[in-house]
Homo-oligomer: A and B are copies of this chain.
Amino acid sequence: MADVARAAGVSTATASMALNDTGGRRIGPETRERVRAAAAELGYRPNTVARGLRTRRTQMIGFVGDDVATTPFAGQMIRGAHDAAREAGFLLLMVDTSGDPAETEEAIGALQERQIDGILLATMYHQVVAVPDAMGSTPCVLLDARTADGSASSVVPDERGGTLGVLAELTGAGHVRIGHVTTREQVQARAVRLETWRERVAECGVDPEPLLVEVEHATTQLGYEGALVLLARPDRPTAVFCFNDRMAMGVYRAAAELGLAIPADLSVVSYDDQELIAPALHPGLTSAALPHYDMGRWAVVELLRRLDDPEAAPVQHRMPCPVARRQSVAKPR
């Protein structure tokens, strides 16, 4: 920068202002051009570390995630956050904790030492969490999680809306005896999807309980086993809503073994819309999509808002889960 100033025949102060368009209207237009030209000539690149020391802004956002790699959704969330950050001139500094609270505290500390401007705290499989003490006054937005008291901004998928969406595909086709295959794992998503399904089926005048099967985990294998049980019952459902795509994959196998054609004999809908599964199954699986990309974007936008205005009231947002419609639904036979 000193070189640039010298080359343009001005002081470093002037050079800085010319390059950053700061200092109001005190820089003459041709001075600014001269400085710009000199900078381009010399291939000048600002040192943001020095700038950060002075301005106390690093243009970096910390992303701390539960388990960045394991879940394929995480990638989309990161991507959304990344894109929004980059558009605003920010970069993402990533830390993965294995879900361990101590590690999370440590990660937050490591980011704060690096003077990040704010933190995105992502908990895979949206849960109710407390903002860690280590956060202190660092601006923070929760991703796929929320606080019990609404003290921090957060964004979660609208699980209820998504469930109603895929169920509407079924009821719209004329189904009322709609089964549900789900997991016993106590995650937020399970509870909402299950409860919403219960309500909706009851509204159709059908008792949901005989149409419910619960298994230990949300795996393909257990989805298969659960479906075998459900489809063997006397008044078997004409359609099944699966907790997620992996379980749906098992339901497909069970249907095939029982000689039930999808969708002619059995309609199937699901949740997650995983790229590797839902479109790859045959026939393509209708599934409610988790809007992770958009959630990532939203979180960054909200974080930037809070950086501008630390007094702004926290916002709790529910992101819609659009239905990806494919070929797994037909009229009941």
Contact = CB atoms under 8 A, between A and B. Distances in A.
A136 to B, nearest CB: 10
A277 B98 CA distance: 23
Contact of A75 (B75, B110, B113, B220): B75
Contacts of A60: 93, 114
B69 A91 contact: no
Interface residues of A, number: 50
Contact of A280 (B72, B110, B246, B282): B246
A284 to B, nearest CB: 10
B75 A79 contact: no
A208 to B, nearest CB: 28
A68 B49 contact: no
A274 B72 CA distance: 11
Nearest to A76: B69
Interface string A39-82: 00000011111101100001110000000111010111011001
Contact of A93 (B45, B69, B91): B91
Contacts of A114: 48-49, 58-60, 91
Contact of A92 (B48, B86, B93, B249): B93
Contacts of A72: 72, 75, 276
A76 B76 CA distance: 14
A59 B91 CA distance: 15
A49 B47 contact: no
B280 A220 contact: yes
Interface string A232-270: 000000000000001001000100100000000000000
A224 interface: yes
A316 to B, nearest CB: 25
A276 B221 CA distance: 12
A287 to B, nearest CB: 14
Contacts of A112: 45
B58 A113 contact: no
Contacts of A93: 60, 91-94
A115 interface: yes
A113 B45 contact: yes
Interface string A81-113: 011001000011111100000000000011111
Interface in A142-165: none
A276 B75 contact: no
A175 to B, nearest CB: 26
A290 to B, nearest CB: 13
Nearest to A284: B221
Contacts of A48: 113-115
B45 A280 contact: no
Interface of A: 45-50, 52-53, 58-60, 68-70, 72, 74-76, 78-79, 82-83, 86, 91-96, 109-115, 219-221, 224, 246, 249, 253, 256, 274, 276-277, 280, 282, 293
12 contacts: A45-B113, A48-B115, A49-B52, A50-B53, A60-B93, A72-B276, A91-B94, A91-B114, A93-B94, A246-B280, A249-B280, A274-B276
